[in-house]
Amino acid sequence: MQYRDNQNSGDKLSILGYGCMRLPSNNEKAEALLMQAYRSGVNYYDTAYLYPGSEETVGRFLAKNGIRENILIATKLPHTMCHTAVDFDRYFDIQKKRLQTGTIDYYLIHNISDLGQWERLCGLGIKDWIANKKSQGEISQIGFSYHGSQKDFLALLDAYEWDFVQIQYNYINIHYQAGVEGLMRAAEKGLPVIIMEPLLGGKLATGLPKEAVRIMQQADKDASPAGWALRWLWNQPEVTVVLSGMNETAQLDENLQLAEHAHAGMFTQAEDQVIHDVIDVFNASYKVPCTGCNYCMPCPKNINIPACFGAYNTSYAIGWMTGEMQYMNVTGIIGDNPRLAGDCIKCGQCESRCPQHIEIRKGLTSVKRRFEFPGLKSIAQFVRKMMHKRSVKKDAANS
Ligand code: SF4
Ligand code: SF4
């Protein structure tokens, strides 16, 4: 495992961090993965109050194995749920209990999306609260995770004496949100930069257009798309830790292997060119920048928003028919309770929750236009009847 320095604290951070948002629900499996990562040198574990069951799992894992002192815990304050200064303590105390620790090494204000949100927290007295927690040794490093405009990110960097930051960054998002300019400015200020969404919700691992995969394989037949994306990040010295939500052993094995050999400045000019070519192909294919984070859910009409956008993007990246089949599947159009993009009542509840600031209502109208052709419902009904008949026949044959 390679490590990069936090020059402010003296911590050596593993370049691969464990993103604990979607740990397997099976405790045994989750703990086995966490232990494998720990034994291979991963020392940065990122969780949040809002990730269901995650803080508890991490806390249990650390306590059970007596390894709390060897790892760095990063977790986050759900700031939109804080209405008075008392709430800061309330959530923080719950988090310490869940994580079975008295100190949070890296504490973040979760998902700030504009300067106004920080100013509201300042009005509630968060600066005094942070100073107090730091002086008592309950918080070591303070930072924020960010999904907003680059302008506000740069303003936020100057608005407080942060110790570190966490941004969304990958080769498709070079000029999106904080972007490369934000990364550079944070690094100039000497702040460690933690990267989230390195694979853009998995798209850069398993959702690339065929042509993009071909370009990568032509350059190196053994390197996976995920490997290209992670190495592209570690190639940059301004990147400190890349978070990956690893919930399968194969994925963890691959990432550990990559983190063993990755170093800043390792990309050749030819490899840079591969990434440029892949970006061109990707941008020509993908229409909606949905990462599948699910923050917009639930929808009062039960529309599976990320799945609708997933099918929509697939229809451009891979082909209309593949996207249409995916759409029929995710909307359950053949079942009893179909939930189509066209059922959106445009209430707008989802949009304020989307960290990518996607115009979801408009997006779903495009999804509807692309997939809900006249006669679709009749075809679905016909397929449903056929399937029902077939299962009745099968039951009769088996009885
Ligand atoms: S705007 Fe549409 S998709 Fe969004 S929450 Fe309302 S009904 Fe659901
Ligand atoms: S629409 Fe936005 S909030 Fe919903 S899954 Fe996609 S990126 Fe996440």
Q: Ligand 2 pocket, 342 CB below 6 A? A: no
Burial class (CB in 10 A: 0-12, 13-18, 19+), 56: middle
Q: Whose CA is nearest to atom 6 of ligand 1?
A: 347
- The CA distance from 48 to 55, in Å, is 7
Q: What is residue 272's predicted lDDT score, i.e. its pLDDT?
A: 95
Which of 314, 290, 317 lies closest to 304, judged by CA?
290
* Whether residue 82 has its Cβ less than 6 Å from ligand 2: no
Residue 273 in 3-state DSSP? helix
Residues 31, 36, 37, 43, CA torsion sign: positive
Quote the CA–CA distance of 256 and 133 in Å, as a whole number: 34
pTM of the model: 0.79
- By the 8 A CB rule, do 303 and 341 touch? yes
> Mean pLDDT of all residues in the chain?
91
The protein residue whose alpha carbon is closest to atom 8 in ligand 2 is 293
CA of 312 to the centre of ligand 1 (A): 17
Would you tell me how many other CB atoms lie within 10 Å of the CB of residue 327? 24
Which residues are within 8 A (CB) of 399 and not within 5 positions of it... i.e. 6 or more apart? Answer: none
Which domains does the chain possess? 3-283 (3.20.20.100), 305-394 (no CATH)
In angstroms, rounded to a whole number, what is the distance separating the alpha carbons of residues 285 and 66? 48
Best mutation site among 303, 331, 339, 358 for ligand 1 pocket (most ligand atoms within 8 Å of CB): 303
Could you tell me if 218 and 271 are in contact, meaning their C-beta atoms sit under 8 angstroms apart?
no
Tell me what pLDDT residue 394 has. 66
In sequence order, the 6+-apart residues with CB closer than 8 A to the CB of 241 are 4, 13, 14, 15, 16, 17, 44, 192, 193, 194, 195
Between the CA of 361 and the centroid of ligand 1 the distance, in Å, is: 7
CA atoms of 87 and 78, how far apart (whole Å): 10
CB distance 3 to ligand 2 below 6 Å? no
User: Measured from the CA of 291, which atom of ligand 2 is nearest?
Assistant: 7
The atom of ligand 2 lying closest to the CA of 354 is 3
The per-residue pLDDT for 315 is 86
Return the SS3 of 178.
coil
In this structure, are residues 229 and 278 in contact, taking their beta carbons and an 8 Å threshold?
no
| Closest ligand 2 atom to Cα of 297 | 4
Q: Residue whose CA is closest, atom 3 of ligand 1?
A: 344
Calculate how far, in angstroms, residue 173's C-alpha sits from the geometric centre of ligand 1.
Answer: 26
Closest C-alpha residue for ligand 1 atom 7: 344
CA distance 186 to 190: 7
Q: Please tell me if the CB atom of residue 361 comes closer than 6 angstroms to any atom of ligand 1.
A: yes
Centroid of chain to Cα 334? 31
Q: For 294, phi and psi rounded to 5 degrees?
A: 75, 5
Cα–ligand 1 centroid distance for 338 (angstroms) = 15
Q: How far apart are CA 235 and CA 267, in angstroms?
A: 6
The ligand placed nearest to the CA atom of residue 345 is 1
Q: Is the CB of 295 under 6 A from ligand 2?
A: yes
Q: How many angstroms is it from 200 CA to the middle of ligand 2?
A: 11
| 239 neighbors 185 (Cβ within 8 angstroms) | no
Among the listed residues 192, 257, 223, the one whose alpha carbon sits nearest the alpha carbon of residue 41: 257
β partners of residue 142? 107
Establish whether residue 358 lines the binding site of ligand 1, counting it when its CB lies within 6 angstroms of any ligand atom.
Answer: no
Whether 243 contacts 20, CB under 8 Å = no
Span 256-279, pLDDT tens digits: 999 999 999 999 999 999 999 999
347 lines ligand 1 (CB under 6 A): yes
Per-residue pLDDT tens for 133-166? Answer: 999 999 999 999 998 888 889 999 999 999 999 9
Residue 197: nearest ligand to its CA? 2
Residues in the chain where the model's pLDDT stays below 50: none
Q: Give residue 299 CA to ligand 1 midpoint distance, Å.
A: 5
Encoded tokens for 100: 């079975």
The confidence score (pLDDT) of residue 388 equals 67
How far is it, in rounded angstroms, from Cα 66 to Cα 77?
Answer: 25
pLDDT at 197: 92
Burial category of 77 from C-beta neighbours within 10 Å (exposed 0-12, middle 13-18, buried 19 and up): buried
